Amino acid sequence: MPYSGKIVLLSKSGYRSERDDGFLRELLQDRIELFCVLGQDADKWEDALDWISIDEDGNGQHLIITTCHRNESLEEVIAFAQMFKTGHEHAVQLVER
């Protein structure tokens, strides 16, 4: 199933590269434009996608905006993602991991 261009990730179990890098690569493959993270290890998730996207597209042809949301509610992050302008119209997709 392809992912929407705007992803809100609610991290419940934290980030582990051996388990989660495949998921992040799927997001890159689906050419998402916005990645908002909250929950456990939100900063690690954000950093991991930033680094993987550099590895995948070292020439900067595809830009993904990544945001880390500490101390914000899920509702606030979804509202932020809905209002955030991207190159294309996208519905916000909530992913829990």
Report yes or no: 25 and 52 within 8 Å, Cβ to Cβ: yes
Residue 45 contacts by C-beta under 8 Å, 6 or more apart in sequence?
A: 9, 11, 15, 20, 24, 37, 68
Name the residue range of residue 20's domain. 6-96
Task: Say if CB 22 and CB 48 are below 8 A apart.
Answer: no
Q: What is the pLDDT of residue 4?
A: 97
**28: which strand partners?**
none
Does residue 19 lie within any of the structural domains? yes
pLDDT at 57: 53
Segment 4-36, tens digit of pLDDT: 999 999 999 999 999 999 999 999 999 999 999
Is residue 1 domain-resident? Answer: no
In the chain, how many domains are there? 1
Q: Would you say residue 41 lies in a domain?
A: yes
pLDDT-derived band at 56, boundaries 50, 70, 90: low
pTM given for the model: 0.92
